[in-house]
Structure 1
Amino acid sequence: MTDAAEPAGEARPRKRVRNYGAGRTALLDAAVRVVAQGGLRKLTYRAVAEEAGVTHGLVVHHFGSRDALIEEALTHAIRSSLSSSTLGEGGGTPDDFSAGLTEMVASGPDLQAFQYELLLEARRRPELHAHLRALYDEYFEATHRELSRMLPGPVGQGLSRMVFATLEGLVLHQLVFGERDVIEDALEELRSVLRLLAERRAGED
């Protein structure tokens, strides 16, 4: 899907000028913000260009198609989210599991909102599903890896998915309702459950 060409001889005034930069990453960041603020239907070359403060043609040059822009923005959002969280990089104990999660949401809400927008859109556009699932598998693997470090014995897919779903739900609640202190309390309750599970498994060895 491409944007309509400008009428000949008419220069469309730019409403605002951004200084995020014209590199590929800056354009992907702009795409994330556009979707987070207006939904996927608002994602056009022109909207991204306006958000990034660059020309429409530069966005076309970098991505070539709207579908390519969506896929690359999704990859960028998830990997940026993973790199800014401690999921999979904790100290291997329940005490520090998901430390920094609420700060990640507070400092990068658009990254999280973008991913939820794409999840819902994948229900209506099956062509997004395979790409979205492949990238979410990175979340699932990071969760499994961290749980395997802190819990004796094998960690099943069901446990990994339950823990990740809890984290994802808490992120969504913070994103929508705020209540950061409540989310921190919920995370501490999750850590308590993981401590008990670790102790029980250790006692069974």
Structure 2
Amino acid sequence: MNDGNEITARQRPLMEATLRLIGRRGLDGVTHRAVAAEAKTSLGAVTHHFRSRDALIEAALRHALARETGRLRALALGLQDKAINVDAWIESLVVWYDRELKADAEMHIACYEAFLAAARTPHYRLVVEEWFETWRRSAQLALAAAGSSDPRRHAELFVSALIGLVFRQLAAPRRAFRRETISVLAELVSRLLQRG
């Protein structure tokens, strides 16, 4: 039985299946039966771990955000050596997201569903805040290295712009996403650094 906080190795395929369903059909598309079919397992295996649909969805959304936060931390560490060169930092960041969205859009859509769930239900907010804080710290590091006079405030603006651009790409994919996003973020950072 799962309390929604810790995912076991046996539950992980159920979480991934649930997230794929959320990404494809939204929260309403999640049922025990649909998850069992998606995970290619028995209905009993799903209900054994998650008695209620709400517990299943909550665990999956928490898993998605925790997974994404871990990946963002790893990305932030990988980008630290590029932080002093803002153009290289932005390009690496956008290239990473471009690959991610092509390879695993459903996971990112599920993360946005988690953001909406946090707007409605307070117990999702801590996990979502951790996701935003991971991003903000990464951007703050890069912007401080670039000479920002207010790296925290500028990081908030940068992260908001990035999240919006990624959301737009998920909702209405563009072929020129990589080029356009690099250009927009570089211009934003340039203006932030000029204004102080």
- Equivalent position of 1:143 in the other structure: 135
Residue 18 of structure 2, aligned match among 31, 34, 46 = 31
**Distance (whole Å) between structure 2 residues aligned to residue 61 and residue 71 of structure 1:** 16
Give, in angstroms, the shift of residue 66 of structure 1: 2.0
Identity of aligned residues (%): 30
Letter in 2 for 1:149: L
Where in structure 2 are the equivalents of 1:45-84 lying within 5 Å?
Answer: 45-84=32-71
**2:176 alignment partner, SS class:** helix
Give, in angstroms, the shift of residue 43 of structure 1: 1.0
Where in structure 2 are the equivalents of 1:1-205 lying within 5 Å?
Answer: 23-85=10-72, 88-89=76-77, 90-91=79-80, 92-93=83-84, 94-95=86-87, 96-97=89-90, 98-99=93-94, 100-121=96-117, 126=120, 129-152=121-144, 153-156=149-152, 158-195=153-190, 197-198=192-193
- Unpaired runs of 5+ residues, structure 2, are 1-8
Letter in 1 for 2:16: D
Q: 1:172 to 1:183 in 2, by over 3 A?
A: farther
Q: TM-score, normalised by structure 2?
A: 0.75
Q: 1:118 to 1:149 in 2, by over 3 A?
A: closer
Greater RCO (Cα-Cα under 8 Å, separation 6 or more): 2
**Distance (whole Å) between structure 1 residues aligned to residue 18 and residue 168 of structure 2:** 23
**Distance (whole Å) between structure 2 residues aligned to residue 88 and residue 162 of structure 1:** 17
**Distance (whole Å) between structure 2 residues aligned to residue 180 and residue 80 of structure 1:** 27
- Equivalent position of 2:5 in the other structure: none
**1:131 alignment partner, SS class:** helix
Instruction: Give the alignment's Cα RMSD to 1 decimal.
Output: 2.6
Letter in 2 for 1:107: A
Q: 1:122 to 1:197 in 2, by over 3 A?
A: closer
Give, in angstroms, the shift of residue 195 of structure 1: 4.4
Per-residue CA deviations over 1:58-112 (Å, capped at 9, x if unaligned) read: 1112223222211211122123334445653322242213241111111111011
Q: 1:138 to 1:109 in 2, by over 3 A?
A: same
Give, in angstroms, the shift of residue 45 of structure 1: 0.9
- The structure with the largest helix share of the pair is 2
Per-residue CA deviations over 1:135-177 (Å, capped at 9, x if unaligned) read: 2212221222122212335533x53332222112111221122
- C-alpha contact 2:98 2:177 (8 A) present in aligned 1: no
Matched residues, number = 175
